[in-house]
């Protein structure tokens, strides 16, 4: 019997039209989007399905991504597919909390709306930057960036792809040093802030205050936290980890390796794009990776699981 993980992508995977077929063709999907509109006071279908400038602005992106991914997950679960564990990359961790029964969908959507605003406001536009460092070992990147001020490792995505974050000048200097150290490429990313860096510590603290009013339950299944790549099995751990997550490294590669070591052999990526599937090819090709991005994908996944 397969051990299944539901995994959820983070900010950057958003695209116009995400979840539209779930909204138009399923009652479950429609109810998730309409509920998000009620909670947040603006039209979530309009934000997700119609061309606009807001979808790529952090304070809107985060709520849109979580809404779309939860809608897709609920339709999949209604078809009888249930996870044994869950995890999400950065923002996607909130979808994993819903999958694990730790947080309600309402609270996840409302919380990430606040999280997005806090992260957007944390650093004036232009002061921070992020860059993807390709084809250089994590240890070499840690050696170069460790002694530097104002630059941090933001994401351990997969072998050969690590993201750094921090003050713009420091990130640019680090890129030059890392290329000199052997990185194949160092690409500045088109993002609105230095996410998962020490520059967002205060935003994390403010998120902690938001979380004080959010109910969390004991996990019905374990989920893997970004901060330490370990299973969370107790409600008491949740809020502190989410507060730290805003300014800490996302240990995605280590999270996946922890799930595989625990016997997970099937990963279902739920949300727009195939970012996590791409990382999986570099982390471990021996596991099965499936995707839910369209309503048609639900049938494909159900059939693939039945055939295992």
pLDDT of res. 302 = 97
> 10-36: per-residue pLDDT in tens?
999 999 999 999 999 999 999 999 999
Q: Give yes or no for residue 125 having a pLDDT over 90.
A: no
Max CA pair span of the chain: 55
Measured CA to CA, the distance from residue 60 to residue 37 in angstroms comes to 12
- Who contacts 278 (Cβ-Cβ below 8 Å, separation ≥6)? 158
Q: In sequence order, what are the residues at sequence separation of 6 or more whose Cβ sits closer than 8 angstroms to the Cβ of residue 135? A: 160, 182, 183, 184, 185
pLDDT at 190: 83
Gyration radius (Cα) of the chain, Å: 18
Q: How far, in Å, are 18, 20, 41 from residue 49 at the CA level? A: 7, 6, 17
Does residue 38 have a pLDDT over 80? yes
Q: How many residues does the chain have?
A: 308
pLDDT score recorded for residue 135: 97
Least confident of 74-88, 178-192, 234-248, 289-303: 178-192
Q: Is the pTM of this model over 0.95?
A: yes
Q: Catalytic amino acids?
A: 90, 196
Alpha-carbon dihedral of residues 244, 247, 250, 254, nearest 10 degrees? -50
Give the number of other CB atoms < 10 A from CB of residue 168. Answer: 18
Domains and CATH numbers, the chain: 4-122+198-307 (3.40.366.10), 128-188 (3.30.70.250)
Q: Kindly tell me if the per-residue pLDDT of 212 is higher than 80.
A: yes
Which H helix or E strand runs over 156? strand 151-158
User: In whole angstroms, what is the distance from residue 245 CA to residue 132 CA?
Assistant: 19
């Amino acid at each position: 019997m397969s051990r299944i993980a539901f995994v959820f992508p983070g900010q950057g995977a958003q695209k116009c039209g995400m979840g539209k077929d779930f909204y138009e063709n399923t009652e479950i999907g429609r109810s998730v989007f309409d509920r998000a509109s009620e909670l947040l006071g603006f039209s979530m279908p309009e934000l997700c399905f119609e061309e606009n400038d807001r979808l790529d602005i952090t304070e809107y992106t985060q709520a849109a991504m979580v809404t779309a991914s939860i809608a897709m997950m609920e339709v999949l679960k209604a078809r009888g597919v249930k996870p044994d564990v869950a995890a999400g990359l950065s923002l996607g961790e909130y979808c994993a909390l819903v999958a694990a029964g730790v947080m309600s969908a309402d609270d996840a959507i409302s919380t990430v709306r606040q999280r997005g605003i806090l992260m957007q406001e944390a650093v004036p536009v232009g002061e921070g930057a992020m860059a993807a460092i390709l084809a250089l070992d994590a240890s070499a990147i840690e050696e170069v960036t460790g002694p530097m001020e104002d630059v941090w490792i933001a994401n351990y995505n997969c072998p050969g792809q690590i993201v750094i974050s921090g003050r713009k000048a420091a990130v640019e200097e680090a890129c030059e040093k890392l290329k000199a150290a052997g990185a194949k490429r160092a690409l500045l990313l088109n993002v609105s802030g230095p996410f998962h860096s020490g520059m967002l510590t205060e935003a994390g603290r403010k998120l902690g205050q938001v979380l004080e009013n959010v109910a969390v339950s004991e996990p019905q299944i374990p989920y893997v936290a970004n901060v330490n790549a370990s299973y969370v099995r107790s409600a008491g751990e949740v809020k502190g980890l989410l507060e730290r997550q805003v300014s800490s490294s996302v240990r995605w590669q280590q999270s996946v390796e922890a799930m595989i070591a625990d016997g997970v052999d099937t990963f279902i990526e739920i949300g727009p794009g195939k970012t996590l599937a791409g990382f999986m090819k570099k982390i471990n090709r021996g596991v099965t990776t499936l995707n839910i991005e369209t309503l048609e994908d639900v049938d494909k996944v159900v059939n693939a699981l039945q055939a295992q």
